[in-house]
Amino acid sequence: MEETTNINFKKTEAKFRNLIMGISIAIPLAVAVLLFMPAKLDSLGDWVFFLPHLNAVINSAASVALILALVFIKRGNITYHKATMTIAFVLGAIFLVSYVIYHASAPSTSFGGEGAIRTVYFFLLITHILFAAIALFPILFAYYYGVTDQRAKHKKLVKIAYPIWLYVSVTGVIVYLMIAPYYTH
């Protein structure tokens, strides 16, 4: 009986591994296509120009949830840690949907700053984009291992996933604050 359960667990884990890898590849590719597609969707209306502001709020809330999750786990409060990580995970999913809608329908905004601030902005933006492109893979696996109570795997992967996720979340807000004055809508 134990052997059958172990085989079923391995099959289920393999399915989730394939799903996570597929999502981790598909989403950055889809975002890249949306950012560089020449024609944007016109049919969504002007309400989409509110989305960058909403995204900054979502990213701020996700950053707070991530920091609280770290505090909770350091204090040994696994229940609150799981809850705040789930909140961060759900906020990340909502952010991603909003981000895709915005970039599918709105032209990109150019940063208008000059001098040293321009260098700072592009450094933050480029590192934000690079880490965001690779973030899904470790984040999804870390979340999966946490949910399935595979603590050793979870702890090992979180050492990589958590700092990347927090960096992407925080720099997303900073990049927004730096470019917000240049939005035309």
What tens digit of pLDDT does each residue of 57-83 get? 999 999 999 999 999 999 999 999 999
**DSSP 8-state assignment for residue 76:** T
Q: What pLDDT is stored for residue 130 in this prediction?
A: 92
Q: Which domain holds residue 41?
A: 2-182
| Domains of the chain: total | 1
Q: Report the CATH number at residue 36.
A: 1.20.120
Q: What is the pTM of this model?
A: 0.84
Q: What is the pLDDT of residues 91-128, one digit of tens each?
A: 999 999 999 888 888 888 889 999 999 999 999 999 99
The secondary structure of 7-65, three-state, reads: HHHHHHHHHHHHHHHHHHHHHHHHHHHHHHCCCCCCCCCHHHHHHHHHHHHHHHHHHHH
- With bands split at pLDDT 50, 70 and 90, how would you rate the model's confidence at 5? low
